[in-house]
Each structure stands twice: as structure tokens, then as C-alpha cells.
């Protein structure tokens, strides 16, 4: 006659299980939203340092000439190539770019056949909890060259 006692125990265990699983799902979701902070220059967020990057670039005779005229060292460059068929992104690291410190220049062979324009996007090296990492600045911090 006392079979009713089993049903509240099962309901309580199920409720606790549902709460634990819900908390785990919410925790994983919010953890994936946060990015690891990348810093440069004594703790300044690397995204803010991107606004301080100043460089000049021009395309002359099959080469891209890049001059770092600012105070922020540039570790690498991304190149966003625009053609009539769309765009693609490549890394100037493929062209053996050396880091450009303040006042340094470099020239890199580049084939512009079929391209309408390119945007050079600076890549900065920053510090994170996992060591040094590269950070690609926004396209708005880039330099546009039209052909």
C-alpha cells in the first residue's frame, strides 16, 4: 500500500538531473562566447593597438613596397584580393615577410593579374595566457591599393 513513496523520489532525482544538465549547457555556451585576451605593450588590448598601426604601401613593377611609419611592429600581413569574380584572402607570410619594426620597409613580389584591388591588413604579435599569438587587425586598419 505504500508504493506512492517511490514516485516522489524518482521525480526529485529527475529534477536534480535536469537542473545539473541545464547549468552545464549554459556554462559551456557562455564560456564559448568569451575570447582569450591578447595584449601588447604592457597589457594594452591588441585590438586597440591596431588603431595605432601606421604603414604605407604601393605596387610598383610587380612588387608591393611596404613601409612601417608608425611605432607598432607589424608581424605579418594578410592580403585580401578583389577580382571581378569575388575575393580571396592570403597571407604575405607565404612571400617570406619579415616583421617590420618602426621605420623599416620591405618589398614583396606579387602578381596582380586579374585583380581590381587589394587590401593589406596588418597582423600583430601579442601575448596571451597560451604564449605569443598573432592577431589579425580589422580590415578598416588596412591599406587599399587599386589596380
- 20 and 50 inside one domain: no
- 26 and 84 inside one domain: no
CB neighbour burial string for 18-50, b if at least 16 within 10 angstroms, e if fewer: eeeeeeeeeeeeeeeeeeeebbbeeeeebbebb
- Judging by beta carbons within 10 Å of its beta carbon (0-12, 13-18, 19+), is residue 91 exposed, middle or buried? middle
Distance of CA 105 to the CA centre of its chain: 24
Taking only the tens place, the pLDDT of each residue in 92-124 is: 765 556 788 888 988 888 888 888 999 999 999
Taking only the tens place, the pLDDT of each residue in 57-94 is: 999 888 889 999 999 999 888 999 999 888 988 877 65
- 97 and 113 inside one domain: yes
The candidate with the shortest Cα–Cα distance to 118, out of 60, 28, 58, is: 58
Considering its fold, how many domains does the chain have in total? 2
- 24 and 90 inside one domain: no
Please give the helix or strand (H or E) that residue 122 lies within, else none: strand 115-128
Q: Which domain holds residue 107?
A: 39-146
pTM of the predicted model, to two decimals?
0.71
Amino acid at each position: 500500500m505504500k508504493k506512492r513513496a517511490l514516485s516522489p523520489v524518482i521525480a526529485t532525482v529527475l529534477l536534480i538531473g535536469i537542473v545539473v544538465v541545464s547549468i552545464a549547457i549554459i556554462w559551456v555556451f557562455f564560456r564559448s562566447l568569451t575570447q582569450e585576451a591578447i595584449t601588447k605593450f604592457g597589457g594594452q588590448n591588441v585590438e586597440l593597438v591596431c588603431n595605432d598601426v601606421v604603414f604605407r604601401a604601393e605596387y610598383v613593377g610587380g612588387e608591393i613596397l611596404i613601409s612601417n611609419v608608425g611605432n607598432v611592429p607589424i608581424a605579418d600581413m594578410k592580403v585580401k584580393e578583389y577580382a571581378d569574380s569575388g575575393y580571396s584572402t592570403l597571407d604575405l607570410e607565404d612571400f617570406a615577410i619579415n616583421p617590420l619594426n618602426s621605420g623599416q620597409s620591405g618589398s614583396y613580389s606579387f602578381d596582380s593579374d586579374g585583380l581590381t584591388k587589394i587590401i593589406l591588413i596588418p597582423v600583430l604579435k601579442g601575448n596571451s595566457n597560451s604564449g605569443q599569438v598573432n592577431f589579425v587587425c580589422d580590415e578598416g586598419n588596412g591599406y587599399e591599393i587599386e589596380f
